Amino acid sequence: MNIYVSNLSAILNSQDLTKHFSRYGTVASANIVTDKFTNQSKGFAFIEMPDDREAQKAITELNGTLLDGRSIVVNEARPRKDRY
């Protein structure tokens, strides 16, 4: 399952996210979205967890919790809508 995480601290890195989410199961990948010009974090990321039950548990238990001093928003990623 692909998980969307927002309101992330700018100093957080992919390893931090992997460690934080791996308490709930296997993390296949953790990708923090960055600005293509400044290479700075945009404050959100996508976490891929192969086991849907583990991913759902992570979503339920981590949504609204503090990570690096910020209350994070965690939910299932939705497909990107076409921009027209």
CATH of the domain at 42: 3.30.70.330
6 CB neighbour count, 10 Å cutoff: 14
pLDDT score for 1: 95
pLDDT score for 69: 92
Q: Say how many domains are in the chain.
A: 1
CA distances from 11 to 8, 33, 51, 59 (A): 8, 13, 28, 22
In a domain, 62, yes or no: yes
Tens digit of each residue's pLDDT (9 = 90 or more) over 24-68: 999 999 999 999 999 999 999 999 999 999 999 999 999 999 999
Tens digit of each residue's pLDDT (9 = 90 or more) over 10-27: 999 999 999 999 999 999
pLDDT bucket at 79, cuts 50 / 70 / 90: confident
In a domain, 40, yes or no: yes
